[in-house]
Amino acid sequence: MPDNDVAKNIFYWKDLDVMASSVDLDPAKVVPFFIDADATPHEGGMPIGGVTQFDLPNSHLQYAMTWYGLAAALVVISGIFIFRRKT
């Protein structure tokens, strides 16, 4: 990914503090969120929208296997503990 060009006001990645400083705003007083433009064409061509990428992995099966595995291990350990206390 290329470096941001602050002199030309071109940002390839989001750096809130540098963006705020480049337009003479106090970074401590800027609200820390971004609104991304959609792919609708804009007059003048900027901002170029529709380029934000999301990668949200679907790991539900892995999480379920982990938690059910831990629950099964707890049942086994509890059973061993109870069995040994009775003898």
Domain ranges of the chain: 1-54, 57-87
According to the model, what pLDDT value does residue 86 have? 86
Residues 75-82 have a mean pLDDT of: 97
CB contact burial 23-37 (16+ within 10 A = b; e otherwise): eeeeeeeeeeeeeee
Q: What is the pLDDT of residue 66?
A: 97
Give pLDDT, residue 68.
98
Segment 5-64, tens digit of pLDDT: 999 988 888 889 999 999 899 988 988 888 888 888 878 887 778 878 778 888 999 999
Residue 28: left if φ>0, alpha if ψ -120 to 50, beta else—which one? alpha
Provide the pLDDT for residue 80: 96
Whether the Cβ atoms of residue 16 and residue 8 lie closer than 8 Å to each other: no
pLDDT attached to residue 79:
96
Residues in the chain: 87
Residue 69 has pLDDT above 90, yes or no: yes
On whether the pTM is more than 0.85, the answer is no
